[in-house]
Amino acid sequence: MNFSDIFKRDFLASYTTEGVSVAHITAVLLITAVIAGYIFLVYRLITKKTFYSKNFNISLAAIAVITAGIILAVQSSIVISLGMVGALSIVRFRTAIKEPMDLCFLFWSIAVGICCGAHMTEIAVVLSLVLTVLVLILDRLPIGRAPMILVANLQDLEKEPLLMQKVSEFCKYYKVKSRNVTLGRCNLIVEVRALKEYEMMQALQKLEGVESVSLVSHDGEVTF
C-alpha cells in the first residue's frame, strides 16, 4: 500500500458517516414533513388562480421531503453524492412553470428540504416564517388597481362617440383596445378604470343604439 492509496482511503472515509440511525432519519423527515405541510397551507391561502392545482400543491410538500432524503443520502458518502449528481443530471422536466409565484414556492420547498437534510432546521423554520410574512405583506400592499374590460355591442359605428363620451364621465382612464365592425354592427372593447362601475353600466345601457354592455375583470399586467 503506497501513499496514494492511504490518501484516497482517508479522503473517502472523511466523507462517510456510519452513525446515521433510523430514528435520526425518521426525525429529520418528520420535521421536514411538518414544514412542508405548512408550505401546503400557505400556498392554498396565497394563490389566487381561477383553477387551483391541488396536485402541484401536493408536489410542493413532497419535493421538500424528497430533497431532505437526498441530502441525507449525500451526507452519508461522497461516492453516493457523485452518483446522485450523475443520476439527477439526466432528469428532464418538460412542464414549464408560467406563474412566478409557483416558482417562488418551488424554490421555497427545495430550500426547506436542503436545510432540514443538512441538520439546519432552525434556518428552515425562520425562512418559512419570514417568507410568509413577506408574501402576505406584499400581497396586501395596494400598489395599483387593475383596469376592467368594457365590452359594448352597438347597432352601428356612429354610436361610438356617444358611448365614449358617457364613459369619460365615469372614468379618468379609458382606452379602446379593439374595434370590430360586422354587417354594420360594432363590437367595442375598452380598457377602463371606473370608481362607480354599477352607475356607469346603468348609464351606458340607457344610451340609444347600445344593444348590450359587459364589464369583465382580468388578472393581466397592470399598466400605470
- Pairing relation of β-strands 148-154 and 185-194? antiparallel
Please count the helices (runs of H) and the strands (runs of E) in the chain. 8, 4
138-169 pLDDT, tens per residue? 877 766 667 788 888 888 778 888 888 888 88
Residues of the chain with CATH 3.30.70.260: 148-217
Q: Out of 22-26, 94-98, 115-119, 125-129, pick the least confident.
A: 94-98
Between CA 210 and CA 152 the distance in angstroms is 7
Name the grid cell of 152: 359594448
Instruction: Say how far residue 39 (Cα) sits from the centre of its chain.
Output: 13
Q: What is the pLDDT of residue 197?
A: 81
| Residue 49, CA distances (Å) to 98, 174, 217 in order | 12, 26, 14
CB 124, CB 115: distance < 8 Å: yes
Whole-number Å distance between alpha carbons of 65 and 110 = 9
Q: Which CATH architecture has domain 148-217?
A: 2-Layer Sandwich (3.30)
Share of the chain above pLDDT 90, in %: 19
For the residues 77-91, what does the mean pLDDT come to? 58
| Mean pLDDT value across residues 207-221 | 76
Residue 119 vs residue 75, higher pLDDT: 119
Average pLDDT estimate for 64-68:
91
pLDDT at residue 83, as a whole number: 58
C-alpha–C-alpha distance, residues 203 and 166, integer Å: 8
Least confident of 72-76, 87-91, 132-136: 87-91
Give 76 or 210, the one with higher predicted confidence: 210
What the block records as the C-alpha cell of 202 is 346603468
For 53, the enclosing helix (H) or strand (E) is none
pLDDT at 22 over 70: yes
Mean pLDDT of 54-75: 88
Q: What is the pLDDT of residue 33?
A: 94
Q: Supply the mean pLDDT for the chain.
A: 78
Pairing of strands 171-182, 148-154: unpaired
Summarize pLDDT for 179-204 with one digit per residue, the tens: 888 877 888 888 888 778 888 888 88
Decide: 171 and 201 in contact? Cβ < 8 Å: no
For residues 205-216, give the mean pLDDT. Answer: 82
pTM here is 0.63
- Grid coordinates given for 194: 371606473
Q: Which amino acid is at 37?
A: G
Q: What is the C-alpha separation between 197 and 215, in angstroms, rounded?
A: 8
Of the pLDDT bands very low, low, confident and very high (cuts 50, 70, 90), residue 6 is very low
pLDDT at residue 172 greater than cutoff 70: yes
Q: Would you give the distance in Å from CA 159 to the centre of its chain?
A: 43
